[in-house]
């Protein structure tokens, strides 16, 4: 029996006895239909003779395994040699390749077809184990010059955390972070780096990779000037490399979302130069890129070449979708587009410890405590002093229906506790970020098999969201515990230092003032299911004449 070659089939031909006949039928049909078909339905490409040497092959494609292969792309391990493919005639059509493996693949292995071009690996397609796991098959859009199969390595998922300049690190993050991105640095028009990062304690034991970004229009203008000039790009790349070396950093993180789309090629050129220099030093390179947007049936990547950039960097952070009402719709569409294009292992989903408020002027961040404070703002009707025994309607100003509010409730479509109210500028909506909401986002990263997550702010300011236990579980075990808050805990509760409450729960309750004059305190407590925030409101009870006076 003839030894099986690394490529069993191209475009999956029929068994040997039918091949010649099938090829003739296919070609004849192509002529009749006027289609241009590449004749790839040929006998299997056989690379090795019985003695193990290279064998003559029939058909337009032959292949030979290299004695040595370049180092695998980050996060992958090789499961086949790198095969050089040789074609007598140019091949310009998609093909299904079946490649013999050097190690056995198992169910659940995440396999990919890669090609090595211009001294870098480029992912072509997903692959699947076939037969007894001794081969892998996948579709490629064009037959490449060479092909190899890689398996995603089992490793702890990456957790990158951003620390703004002047902020204090939340020490709870240290048990989960794999890299700390410190902010405060920006590009200067001559290509150099400027700025000051946050001060870190001496005992902070985590890899540090500064983020260079653009915080205003002047910095964005400097960035685009750099990207438009080959000379300035070269100076900028060298400036970044020197910055990393001089600071003893583990790598660099670029947030160049302010790039003009016309400078996309310049950005790719910069990334290529940085990738080469930083990898030679054993340093990392990560990017934050804006989400592609869908225009009809096409995707607009805003000038960023995702496949090429993914091959050059260790990871790409997906910029967050600010409008929480469409978060899952938008993010799942984006991930459905990007993961086949670049591989999920190169993508990091952004997780935020901050709640979000949408108003007429856009979406703004606020802490969980601030969000609950806004929810639990107490008010009284009538306002001011009241007579002994009077009835007062105590209410949550932003939760009661009578004042244009809605109750705190879990919204399945956004996977978060939310409420709406009427405030400055009109209607406003707040979505609360906590362990419940962010666990569902961690699960999104798990479901799409991403390389990890990026936390937008790991300072003490966002500590009240308490997301770190969930992040650690995801990073270390790849598991996420999903739960929704107990609905009864989302109902506001009331207490009073005197008088009588008709009910101790609800967005609006009646309070009867006592007969004794004096100042009484009503307390409104609201909760997201874990954290409780209380606010007090003082009501003065005065005699009828005093209460009704000026």
Least confident of 81-95, 252-266, 289-303: 81-95
pLDDT at residue 58, as a whole number: 36
CB 461 within 8 A of CB 352: no
Q: What's the mean pLDDT when you consider all of the chain?
A: 86
Please name each of the domains of the chain with its CATH number: 7-152 (2.60.220), 158-358+427-477 (3.20.20.80), 375-414+418-423+486-548 (2.60.40.10)
Question: Closest by alpha carbon to 84, among 102, 67, 106?
Answer: 67
188 vs 222: CA distance, rounded Å: 6
Give the span between the Cα atoms of 32 and 20, in whole angstroms.
19
Q: Please report how many Cα atoms fall inside a 13 Å half-sphere around the Cα of residue 228, on the Cβ side.
A: 11
User: Cα(340)–Cα(126) distance, rounded to whole angstroms?
Assistant: 7
Q: State the DSSP code for 504.
A: S
- Least-confidence region, from 38-47, 98-107, 109-118: 38-47
Q: What average pLDDT does this structure show over 173-191? A: 95
The dihedrals phi and psi of 407, each to the nearest 5 degrees, come to: -75, 160
Confidence of residue 166 (pLDDT cuts 50, 70, 90): very high
The CA–CA distances, whole Å, from 495 to 94, 472, 498, 533 equal: 71, 38, 9, 13
**pLDDT average, residue stretch 182-205:** 93
pLDDT in tens, 325-381: 999 999 999 999 999 999 899 999 999 999 999 999 999 999 999 999 999 999 999
CA dist 445 and 110 (Å) reads 16
Q: Is 288 exposed, middle or buried (0-12, 13-18, 19+ CB in 10 A)?
A: buried
Q: How far apart are CA 452 and CA 474, in angstroms?
A: 9
> CA nearest 312: which of 258, 264, 276?
276
Residues 452-472: tens digit of each pLDDT: 999 999 999 999 999 999 999
**Percentage of the chain surpassing pLDDT 70?**
86
Confidence of residue 90 (pLDDT cuts 50, 70, 90): low
pLDDT range class, residue 49, cuts 50, 70, 90: very low
- Kindly tell me if the per-residue pLDDT of 217 is higher than 70: yes
Return the pLDDT at 9.
38
Residue 25 in this model has a pLDDT that exceeds 80: no
> pLDDT grade, residue 102 (50/70/90)?
confident
């Amino acid at each position: 029996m003839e030894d099986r070659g690394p490529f069993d089939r191209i475009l999956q031909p029929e068994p040997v006895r039918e091949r010649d006949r099938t090829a003739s039928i296919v070609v004849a049909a192509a002529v009749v239909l006027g289609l241009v078909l590449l004749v790839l339905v040929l006998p299997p490409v056989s690379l090795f003779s019985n003695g193990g040497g290279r064998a003559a092959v029939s058909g337009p494609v032959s292949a030979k395994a290299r004695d040595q292969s370049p180092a695998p792309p980050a996060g992958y391990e090789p499961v086949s040699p790198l095969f050089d493919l040789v074609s007598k005639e140019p091949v310009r059509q998609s093909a299904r390749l079946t490649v013999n493996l050097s190690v056995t693949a198992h169910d659940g292995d995440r396999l990919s077809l890669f090609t090595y071009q211009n001294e870098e690996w480029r992912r072509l397609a997903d692959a699947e184990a076939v037969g007894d796991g001794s081969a892998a098959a996948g579709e490629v859009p064009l037959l490449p010059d060479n092909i190899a199969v890689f398996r995603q390595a089992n490793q702890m998922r990456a957790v990158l955390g951003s620390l703004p300049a002047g902020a204090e690190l939340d020490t709870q993050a240290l048990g989960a972070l794999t890299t700390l991105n410190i902010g405060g640095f920006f590009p200067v028009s001559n290509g150099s780096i400027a700025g000051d990062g946050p001060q870190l304690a001496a005992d902070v034991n985590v890899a540090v990779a500064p983020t260079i970004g653009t915080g205003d229009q002047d910095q964005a203008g400097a960035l685009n000037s750099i990207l438009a000039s080959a000379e300035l790009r070269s100076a900028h790349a060298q400036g970044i490399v020197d910055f990393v070396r001089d600071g003893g950093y583990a790598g660099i993180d670029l947030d160049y979302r302010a790039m003009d789309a016309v400078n996309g090629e310049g950005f790719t050129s910069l990334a290529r130069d940085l990738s080469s220099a930083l990898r030679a030093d054993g340093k990392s390179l990560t990017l934050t890129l804006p989400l592609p947007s869908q225009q009809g049936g096409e995707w607009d990547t805003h000038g960023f070449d995702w496949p090429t950039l993914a091959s050059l960097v260790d990871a790409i952070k997906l910029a967050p979708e600010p409008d929480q009402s469409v978060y899952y719709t938008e993010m799942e569409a984006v991930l459905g587009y990007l993961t086949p294009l670049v591989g999920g292992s190169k993508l990091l989903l952004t997780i935020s410890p901050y709640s979000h408020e949408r108003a007429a002027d856009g979406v703004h961040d606020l802490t969980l405590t601030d969000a609950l404070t806004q929810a639990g703002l107490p008010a009284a009707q009538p306002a001011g002093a009241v007579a002994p025994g009077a009835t007062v309607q105590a209410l949550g100003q932003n939760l009661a229906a009578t004042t244009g509010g809605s109750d705190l409730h879990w919204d399945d479509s956004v996977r978060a506790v939310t409420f709406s109210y009427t405030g400055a500028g009109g209607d406003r909506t707040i979505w609360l970020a906590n362990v419940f909401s962010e666990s569902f986002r961690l699960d999104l990263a798990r479901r799409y098999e991403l390389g990890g997550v990026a936390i937008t702010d790991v300072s003490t300011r966002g500590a009240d969201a308490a997301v770190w236990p969930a992040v650690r579980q995801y990073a270390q075990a790849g598991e996420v515990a999903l739960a929704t808050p107990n609905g009864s805990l989302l109902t506001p509760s009331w207490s009073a230092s005197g008088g009588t409450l008709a009910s101790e729960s609800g967005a609006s309750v009646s309070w009867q003032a006592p007969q004794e004059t004096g100042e009484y305190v009503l307390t409104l407590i609201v909760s997201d299911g874990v954290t409780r925030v209380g606010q007090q409101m003082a009501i003065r009870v005065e005699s009828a004449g005093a209460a009704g006076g000026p």
